Structures are given as structure tokens and as C-alpha cells.
Structure 1
Amino acid sequence: MKFVALISGGKDSFFNIHHCLSQGHELIALANLYPQDPNKDEIDSFMFQTVGHDIIDNYSQLLNVPLYRQAITGGSSNQHLEYSITKDDEIEDLYQLLSKVKSNHPDVEGVSCGAILSHYQRSRVENVCDRLSLTSLAYLWQRDQYELMQEMCQNLLDARLIKVAAIGLNENHLGKSISQLFAQLVKLNQLYEVHICGEGGEFETLVFDSPIFKDKKLAVIDKQIINHSNDDVSYLKVKVEVIDKDFPSEYSNITPPDLLTKEFDEILDEVKASPDIKSLSINDTPEKSTVENVYSKESIFSTKTKLYISNLISLETDIKDQAVEIFQKLTEILIHNDLTFNDIQHITLLLSDMTNFTDINSIYGQNFQDLYLPPSRICVETNLKTDIQLSCIVLKHHGNNLKSGHHIRSRSYWAPQNIGPYSQTIIETRESYKLASLSGQIPLIPSTMVLSTEKIEFDSVFSLQHLYRVKTLANVNKLGSIICFITSDKYLSVVSNTWKEYYSGIEDGKTGLGQLVIVQVSALPKNARVEWGGISYESVSSMYDDDDDDEEEKKNEDKLNSLIEKFEVNSHVDVNKDGSMKIVTLFTNESQLVQEALDYNDDKNYIQVVASHSLITKLTSGSGFEFLPVENVWDYKGNHYNYSIIWKLEN
């Protein structure tokens, strides 16, 4: 795609241009924001580097593309992690700048952004890109800083320190290149946790030469060190000129990082070497699902912390009318419970035909387009009587900072950007725990957003790596409930072995081995063969922790444990330290046992029943559950069962 590059003069913005070019994108313009007062070298911006702004004009000549500049008139008025339109904020200056670029270059599609770790910076560029129908290209995002700085040096990026503001760095380091200082920066990182790439604001750079500058570079003709009087900050004020290179640069594309990390590559090797699993079942011929004249019963029930809205359908004949009616129902339920779309944590969207996804998604998106953190989502095609079924988890209001998450729309090497109006993860924070809902991950190559064409073993490991990276970024790391969707039972051995190798290798055998449910559905987004999603958690120390249970609570727990032990396979995790919040995963072939669980639950807790339509009809009561219709259900070992239950117990 044709792209405009946001540049500050620093190493990150220019090295990201190099990556964009290496990915086959075409640079057509540069864009820069500078202080409104030309005599001021630096302003108090949370977003933009302005030291060295007076040499930016030269880069247009070095790259032979037009440069667009805009004065920064706003301030850091909106300091929330996720940005929404705010009057007199510097991000509105960025919007005006990129609007000007798009007006002059209507064919521009992408924006190069050098963000590495800053959610603040990335989310603001994404906000502006969304408003202008552009794609943020952030190939440095979440890269390991040691590897990234080493890569910059190896690719002959002549970036020199122009500002220092960290322990171990002083005015004597100004003007030195990152190659000269690489070893020292690594040492400072080990001693004082100084960011190797300066991501903590420890230093800033200016680029004097790069392989992407074909035949010209910058040379210093004068310099002056400026020391801040009130802190240990110094910067270099330079005058430069454009000079010819002795030899034109021999440009070469940067080799992108391997798709799999070393740890996941080792998992892939083990999966390839693993024997096939024979699916075991009490029934020699597992009952296949058939679509009968049965509708999932709509369910609305409330716990102390959440509202669960399950199995919403519409009997309209036109699929768009069905989507509209379902969202009308959802709106009415939310209003009745004094909640909004912004309170929804997660949505499970089931379709009878994935080819209808585009039409449904357009209506879906209209309801979330103004949210900076839309819900996480899982969307699959499975056997339904209607065309659409929607279930969701809604967070009730209790205290500040209840909801956070990651809604990453940039293209990178990290993990897939969201391909719809949903977040990669939404995190619920309570006094004694955190719960993160994790959107379904398929084996998309993040840098291109093209589906992998590798064998199923690679796709299984690759998509699970995506889920792991989202979970790690959320810093909510323990496995609560994981579901793996496959489109053929031929993939059962692969995903089962992937899970076992992942659990022992990456999770180090900590929690959640038995919390996996493997299911077969008819289709997945983009015709993927495998998708991983689920829930992770962390316990939080609370001043209200109390290990003393009264007699009635102990009786209830004994009764519950007795019921759980009746299931052929059962596994549970305690989400908080006192065990008052549990996630239980159960498997059985007996409908009577599922019925017993539904009767015990009595609409007090979330319970999801995973089974075929034909089997769900054997349940005679229990309206308070979410129904996930599938073709087949297996536990993590590959044993087949008629039913699985995912149960969130909140006492």
C-alpha cells in the first residue's frame, strides 16, 4: 500500500519506514509536527519528539518525497490511555496534518508509526487513522529492545543521541551514534533498567544516514550543547547540511522476525513428532448434530458483578433484519439494567453461514464504532436454526478502573490487528481478581494479515502463539478457560498435542491443563482451520480476603464438589485466593448429569453448555445458560464427550 511516514527525526520513525519498504509498501510522503514557537526547541508533549525539529525539512530531499508539516497548537489535554476526540489536544493537530496529506494524496492507505512499547502513542495514531480510513503500520511494535537496537546497528542506521535524560547518560554521549553506544546502553539496562531503545524517555536521537537514503546524507556543520537548569537533561542543538554520499547506498530489505519465537518453534517440532491420538468415547459412534426445529432459549441473568445475556436470536427472514432486531433486543436489555454497550466485556457471535459475515459485521460495527474499547469477540459458523445467535458478558459498575484492555489496530509483527470492531482482550479488575476475555485467534500472518498457508501443525501453534502474546500483553497470565475450534476431526491430534506441549513448555505446568475444550464447528473466519480463544485470570490481594467460611457456605461447597466429581472429567481453577470465584470445566456423556448441574446452578452463575442441538433437546429445564452448538466435543486429551460445561461460580 502507499503510505505516509510520521517522522520526528529519530531512529524509530526512520527504521519503521525501512520495515514498511521491506514489506512492499510504497513511501509517497513524510509528515511532521513541530512546536508552534519556532524559537523553542522542545515542548511538553507526551506524544511527539520535537528536539531537532529545525532540521526536519532536509529529510524530504534525502528521501525524494514531499514533506508536510503542521504546528502543534494543542496540548496533552486527553491523557487517557485510549484516546477519544478532544478539543485543543495535540492529536487533533495530527488529524489536521494527515487530513492534508490525504487531500493531496487520495491514494494513500497507510501511516508509518515508530511506536515500540507506547500504548499511548500507538492508540492515538490508530485513532486518527480510523477517522481517516487509513491503516497504521507499526512494525517495531512489541519488539524486543535488545534485538531491535542490534538490528538497527546491523542495518547501518546512523542515528545519534541528541538528548539524554537518564542515569548513566550525560552530555558527553550527545552526538554519538547508537552503534558506538550499544554496549553501554545494554549495560545501563542491566544496572538501572534503562530502556535500550530509550522507550522510557531516557534519550532521543536524530538520523543522519540510512540505507533508505539513496545518495545523500546529513552532515553536522555546527553544534551546541544545551543543559536544562533544573534536572539532569541535556540536548544537542545542531546545524546540518545535505551532502552527497561517497557511494550510493546498496539498499536491501530487512529480514522480518521469524513467525514463531524459539519457544513456539520448539513446540512445533514436538507436535510434528507426536503420535496421532485416537478419539475415545463411551459411544462407539458419537451422535452427530442435526439442525432441528429447536431454538436456543434466550437467557438473561445477573450475578454480583456481571449480567449474562445469552442465546439472543431473531425469527426475521432477512439476515440483516435479524441482526438489527438482535441488537435492538440487546439495547433494550442493557437500558433496562442501567448498562451500556461500553460495559460489554465479551461477545460470542454464532453464524449459520460465514459468507454472511460481512453483512452482519457492518451492522455489528455500527453499535461499537464509537467505543475506544469494544468487546472482545469469538465468531464461528456452526449449526443453528436461525442465521445468527449472540451471547455476551456485561460488566456491572463497581469502583474505578473496572474495565481496561487492548484494542490494537496497527499492522505489525506482533500479532494480528483486529479485523473488526472488537478488542484483542478486555480486562475486568475487581478487588480480589482480574479476568481477561481473549478474542479468538486464527493463524493470520500479522505483517500482511494474510492467512497462513502452512500445514495444520504450524497453524495450530502459530494461532496459539497469538493468543499467548495477547494474554502476556494484558499481564493476566493464568489459564482460566480455553476453547479451541477446529473445522475437522482430522485436526484433533494436532491441537491436543499443541496444547500439551504449550502447557508444559510455555506455561511451565502452572495452571489450567484440563481447562481446554476442543470443539468442531463448520467454519471459521477467513476459512481458517483452527482458532484459539478463552479467559485468563490473576488473583489480586485484597484487604477483604477472608479464609473463614460459615457452615452454610461449607455445606454448599461440599454439595458442589460432590456434583462436580460425578462428571467423567472435571477441572477447576480458583480465580481469587479465597476460592469464592471459580472456573470449572466439565465433560460428560450423560444429559441427566448436565441437567443436575443446571438445576443446581438455578440462574445464580454463568454456565455455558457445549453440545449439539440434538443433544441439548434432552435438557428439560434450566433457562439460565448459554448454549454453544457444535458438531463434536473433546477434552484436552482428545477424548470425545457429548457435553462440556464451562461454569463460572461466583459466591
Structure 2
Amino acid sequence: MKVVALVSGGKDSTFNMMQCIAAGHQIVALANLVPHNKTEIDSYMYQSVGHEAIDLIAQAIDLPIFKKITYGVSKKQGKTYEYCKNDEVEDLYNLLQEIQAQIEFDAVSVGAILSDYQRVRVENVCLRLNLTPLAYLWQRKQEELLDEMIKCEVDAVVIKVACLGLDPKKHLGRSLSLLQPHLLSMHEKYGLNVCGEGGEYETLTLDCPLFKSRLVIEEHELVMHQNDPIAPVGFLKFNSLKLEFKLPPLDLQSRLEGLPLKDSLGYISDDDENDFEINNIDEAGDCDNIETLDNEEVDVKAHIQQKPSSYASKEGWLWVGGIQGHSSDPAGALEEAISKLTYLLSLKNHTIKDVCSIALYVSDMSQFALLNEVYIKTFSHVNPPTRACVQVPLNCPVILEALSWKLDNEEDKQTMHVQSVSHWAPCNIGPYSQANKIGDFIHLAGQIALVPGNMQMVPGGIKPQCKLVVRHIDRVLKAIDVNIRDVVQGICFVTHSSYIEPARKHWEAKTNNALVEYVVVTGLPRGALIEWHVWAHKHNNQFEYEERGKCIDDYSILLYRRVNYENNVAATVCRIESQANGCDSQIFFEALNYSVQKLKQGHENDSKCIFNLKIYFSILKFNNVDSLVEVVENYAEENLVYTFVPVVKLKSSNTLLSICGIRNQ
């Protein structure tokens, strides 16, 4: 892509340009917001100190620069941003719009590392201008990132300090390579952000491999902004700067040679994840030839007639299940399903904006682009719900289920909606968020093994996909302030039954006691071989685990349960196993009742409990499930939400059907 780089003169915007080039993009111009008073301003968005050097940096890189004056006024300071006249964000919008009128470009480089405030606003501007934000430093570990910058020959000096542990009179003007040990020490002692991402310090890049010439500071003065005895604030004002041509003259490719600058594939292996290999081979004899297997094909599709169901809890949760779109036209079918969802939400005083998680089961993944066009018409608002989408052997175009939440205290809701391309985890490639945290619950979008930096499937087959997709889950959860060991329950969708074993082995090596169902489906987005859809709980370490089972004739009913100490959350997986094909209504009733009673345990007299069930059945084992649907519809428990989902196979060849259940208050 052709890229316009937002530059402040500091190390982060400079190094992100290097990352863009390493990822195969072309920087075509620079953009800068100039402080209106030609001195340092207190902006939430833009670094203004060192602005005197911006024109020289453009000359050093030999690229055109576009500038616009900003007054640094932040009128909307919330977690989200929508258009606000005269806000400093609109200065950026206007600048990029003016550049679009003069040159052609597709993307914007931004050096955000941790600042959701900055990232969200740049993404808002890019979305409105149909541009792709590239934030390759996003969520990088700061110690590693600083070391990488220095090793990649980014020569930057500190030009502003504003924190405990940094002294303007001692540290201003010193290079990051010399200050690195001190910054690491202050991080251990005071919690200082090593890259200064908390505003602790700002920098000016004097030289890097992108520069044909080096900046030289001829005259400067120290300005004390706040002479605090504990955390003084000061910055450098530059009175005279010049460029010094670097010899011998080299082209860009030659200047980049020999640097430890990695491409997108290089960033899917980190020091603490050194077991990741593109062509990893398991022990001999384990899943022979699984790399070359095609998707399991089936020539039968399930006919299901289930009624939509929905119930609301006293804690603001609303589960909606079993919504079908019957139109022969896929787009019309999804419109029908969304219309039903909107109606059911309205009955409980919820709206589309309250929905936090969606699961879509489609009959034909080749129609996904068309379905997405319909979907985005409804879910185009800020911070849309998470979403998982899989293809199943279904005779209607779509089945939809949803989880909604609404209470007066919206501060309990936190959304991770990253639209920037980075090396962290995949940006959202559609109208969905990566995660929603509501209270102690975290619901993730379905995760597939896209390489974050280039948004392509990782090469090498199922084993690299297993490892990368689990890493995505962990990174998204960590950004929400939990980790992968906090996963309570998950569904692992795969496109071939032989992929289950490597998926299970890697998952169990990384997690602890999560309830998992493994499901073979007929297709996944982007041709993925595996997709994980999970939810987590901040206090997963306070959940108990139990296994139960019983036999009825030739059938085994196996049940796995997780419940927290307070018993206001419970999750189950219940499997019916047999060598027979299918089961009768009585066997299914026993499994259904077993699941609900174990979910309800300890709340037998509580009429406000809600039970949400996903009922996966193998179409190779069941010719018809009408009788099973009737069992659920006639079940005595009123607060039951359910969705029947046809799949090819389940965890083992003897697994006929699986009921995945959740109860919360």
C-alpha cells in the first residue's frame, strides 16, 4: 500500500515508518500537525515539542511533507470518538483529506504503542476517509521495542521529560542508547513506561536508516515548564538545526541491509513464544499427513425448524437463540434474521447497540461478502458486538444467536475494537470488535490464524494455525487485563476431524480446566482450518471443575461442569456417546435434563436463572432432529434459550450430540 506517515519527529513515528517498509509498503509523504503558537502545546493527540525539526526530517527522508495548524483543543475525551466540530481530531481529518486531493495513498502510519485514546481517534479519521491505519508498534512489549529501535539504528535524543526518575537538567539531549539502562532501572523502581508511552518523555530522531542526511543540533535552550522538586517538567527548544549529508551515499535498500528489521511473519514468533515454528512437526506417528487433508465434504444438509427464544436476567443479560433466516436469497435471509433479533431485543427494552456478542452459522461461506454487506447496515455503530461465523451443513442460509447486555451503569462495559493493522493480533476485518468485557465476563470474537502484520493466513497447515490462533486469544485477553488461563468455556471449530488432536494438545498446554467442545464444520472464514470462540471470567481461578456421567442402555451421557464459588455462574458440556446412529427422544431428554439440572444446581428454587444452550449434532448420526427440537420446546424449564446447530462431526466418532450450556444470573 501507499502510505502517508504521521510524524512528530519522535522515535515512535519514525520506527513505525521502518515497520511499514519492512511489511512491504511504500511511504509516499509525511504529515504533521503544527502547534498554533509555534511552541510546545498540551495536546492529547500530538507531540508538539521538537516541531522545529519536522521540515528537516522531511528533507532527510526526501519526501514531501503536508502540514496543518492545530490548536490542540480536545472537546471529546471519552473512550470513543465521533465527529466533533473544532476538536483537534478534526484537524487531522482535514489534513488527510487535503492530502487525498493532491496525491494517491491507501494507508496511514501511526506510532501508537499503548494509547487507546490516540489509536481510536486515528482509526475514526481513517475509517471516514476509507484509509487503513498501520500501527505496527501497537501493544509491543516496551523493553523489547526500545531495544529493537536501538538495534535498528534509530538515533533519538530525549527532548522532554515529565516524570519521577527523569531530570531535565541531566537527561535532556541524551540519546536513548545511552539512557536505556536508566530507563529500565526507573521502570523497575517507579513503573516508568520504558518507551515513554505514558507521557514520561518525548524524543527527536536525529538519524535512522530512512534518512539520507543526519540532523545536527546547533543551538538549543532548556525550558523549565514545571520546576517540581519530585517530578520536574522541562523540554528543549531548538534555535538552530541543520542537515549533514551522510557518506557514502547509499540507496534505501542498502541502508536497511543488515538490520534486525523483521517482516510480518518474523513477528509471529516472540522470545517468550519460541516454540512457534512455521513448519513445526509433532512426534512421529501423530496425525500423519494432516497438513495435506482437505475439508471433510458432506452431501447432506440438516433441516431444522426451531423457534426463536429469548430471556432476560436481573443482571441485565439477554440471551437470544435459534433465529433462522428462511429466504432462499442469503442476503434476504440475514435481513429476516436481523429483523427478528431487533424485535426480540425491543420486547426487553434492548437495542442493537446493546448486543455484545453474535454467532452466525451460514450454509455457504462463499456468500460471506454479500452477507457482510447486509450485516454492516445494522452493526455499523461504534464498538459493534464480537462475532463468530462458521459454515455448517444447513438447509437455510443462516442461523443467528446473540447475547445482549443493558444496565444503567455503562461504565461496566469495556470494548476492544482495534481496526489498525499491527503485529499484535488481527485487526477486525469486518463490523465486529475483538472483545467485550462486561463486569467480570469477557466475550471474544471468533479467532482464526491470520498473521497480524499482513492479515493473511499463516502458512504451514494446521499446526502453525493452532499455535497462532491460541496466541491471538491470549493477546486479546491480556489487552483486556486477563489471560488465556481465564477462559471458562470455548468452542473449537475445525474443518477436518484429524485437526482436533493437535488443537486439543496445544490448547491444553496453554490453559487450565476450560470446558471445550471440538466441532467439525464445513467451512471457516478466509479458508481457515481452525477457529476458536471462547468466553473468559476475570476470576476463573475461583471456579470449581467436576466430571459426571451415566449410562442408559447403549448410550453414555458425559457431563463436565465449571462453577464459581459464589455459584452465580456455571458452564457445562454434556455429550451423548454411542456406536449407534442417532438417539431417541428419551435419551436426548435425559441429557438435556442432566445439563440443565447441573447448571441449576444450588439455584433449584430460583426462577430468574437463565440457561443458554448450544446443541451441536452430527448430521452423519441424525437424519432428522424434529423430535429433539420438540423435546426442548416442551421442556418444563421456562427460562431456556437454545440453538440447534448441525455439524459434520464432534470430538470423537462416537459423539452423537453435544450440549454446551451457560447459566448466569
Tell me the TM-score normalized by structure 2.
0.86
The 5 Å alignment of 1:539-554 reads 539=539
Deviation at 1:639, TM superposition (A): 7.2
Q: Which residue of structure 1 lines up, in the alignment, with residue 255 of structure 2?
A: 251
The residue type equivalent to 2:132 in the other structure is: T
- Residue 441 of structure 1 aligns to a residue in which SS? coil
Asked whether the equivalents of residues 305 and 626 of structure 2 are also in contact (C-alpha less than 8 Å), the reply is no
Deviation at 1:265, TM superposition (A): 4.0
Distance 1:26 1:597 in 2: 60
Q: Deviations over 1:247-302 (max 9, x none)?
A: 33542161244413345443779971286479xxxxxxxxx894244323321222
Unaligned stretches of 5+ in structure 2?
Answer: 289-297, 578-586, 601-606, 634-640
Distance 2:102 2:497 in 1: 53
Q: Which residue of structure 2 lines up, in the alignment, with residue 446 of structure 1?
A: 452
Q: Which residue of structure 2 lines up, in the alignment, with residue 227 of structure 1?
A: 224
Asked whether the equivalents of residues 349 and 388 of structure 1 are also in contact (C-alpha less than 8 Å), the reply is yes
Distance 2:654 2:69 in 1: 64
Deviation at 1:82, TM superposition (A): 2.4
Q: Which residue of structure 2 lines up, in the alignment, with residue 491 of structure 1?
A: 499
- Residue 632 of structure 2 aligns to a residue in which SS? coil
The residue type equivalent to 1:428 in the other structure is: I
Q: Which residue of structure 1 lines up, in the alignment, with residue 576 of structure 2?
A: 588
Deviation at 1:195, TM superposition (A): 1.1
CA pair 562-252 structure 1, distance change in 2 beyond 3 A = closer
Q: Which residue of structure 2 lines up, in the alignment, with residue 185 of structure 1?
A: 183
- Residue 445 of structure 2 aligns to a residue in which SS? strand
CA pair 329-568 structure 1, distance change in 2 beyond 3 A = closer
Distance 2:301 2:405 in 1: 33
Deviation at 1:465, TM superposition (A): 1.0
Q: Which residue of structure 1 lines up, in the alignment, with residue 636 of structure 2?
A: none
Deviation at 1:230, TM superposition (A): 5.1
- Residue 615 of structure 2 aligns to a residue in which SS? strand
2:270 is the alignment partner of 1:261? yes
CA pair 388-570 structure 1, distance change in 2 beyond 3 A = same
2:325 is the alignment partner of 1:318? no
CA pair 618-502 structure 1, distance change in 2 beyond 3 A = farther
The 5 Å alignment of 1:159-170 reads 159-170=156-167
Q: Which residue of structure 2 lines up, in the alignment, with residue 461 of structure 1?
A: 467
Distance 2:427 2:152 in 1: 27
Q: Which residue of structure 1 lines up, in the alignment, with residue 6 of structure 2?
A: 6
Q: Which residue of structure 2 lines up, in the alignment, with residue 406 of structure 1?
A: 416
Q: Which residue of structure 2 lines up, in the alignment, with residue 93 of structure 1?
A: 91
Distance 1:229 1:199 in 2: 20
Distance 2:120 2:222 in 1: 34
The 5 Å alignment of 1:210-225 reads 210-214=208-212, 216-225=213-222
- Residue 272 of structure 1 aligns to a residue in which SS? coil
The residue type equivalent to 1:361 in the other structure is: N
2:369 is the alignment partner of 1:365? no
Deviation at 1:585, TM superposition (A): 2.2
The 5 Å alignment of 1:512-551 reads 512=514, 515-539=515-539
Q: Which residue of structure 2 lines up, in the alignment, with residue 28 of structure 1?
A: 28
Choose from 145, 157, 170 the match for 1:148.
145
The residue type equivalent to 1:645 in the other structure is: I
- Residue 339 of structure 1 aligns to a residue in which SS? coil
2:319 is the alignment partner of 1:330? no
Distance 2:218 2:399 in 1: 68
Distance 1:611 1:586 in 2: 12
Mean Cα deviation higher: 23-32 or 391-400 = 391-400
Q: Which residue of structure 1 lines up, in the alignment, with residue 659 of structure 2?
A: 645
Q: Which residue of structure 2 lines up, in the alignment, with residue 72 of structure 1?
A: 70
CA pair 271-227 structure 1, distance change in 2 beyond 3 A = same
Deviation at 1:535, TM superposition (A): 0.4
The residue type equivalent to 1:630 in the other structure is: V
CA pair 74-339 structure 1, distance change in 2 beyond 3 A = farther
Q: Deviations over 1:344-390 (max 9, x none)?
A: 01000111010000000011011121x22111110000011201111
- C-alpha RMSD of matched pairs (Å): 2.7
Asked whether the equivalents of residues 310 and 625 of structure 1 are also in contact (C-alpha less than 8 Å), the reply is yes
Identity %: 32
Asked whether the equivalents of residues 424 and 470 of structure 1 are also in contact (C-alpha less than 8 Å), the reply is yes
Distance 2:271 2:625 in 1: 43
Distance 1:185 1:415 in 2: 27
Tell me the TM-score normalized by structure 1.
0.88
| Stretches of 4+ aligned residues off by more than 6 angstroms | 267-271, 561-567
CA pair 101-340 structure 1, distance change in 2 beyond 3 A = same
Asked whether the equivalents of residues 484 and 517 of structure 1 are also in contact (C-alpha less than 8 Å), the reply is yes
The 5 Å alignment of 1:318-397 reads 318-369=329-380, 371-397=381-407
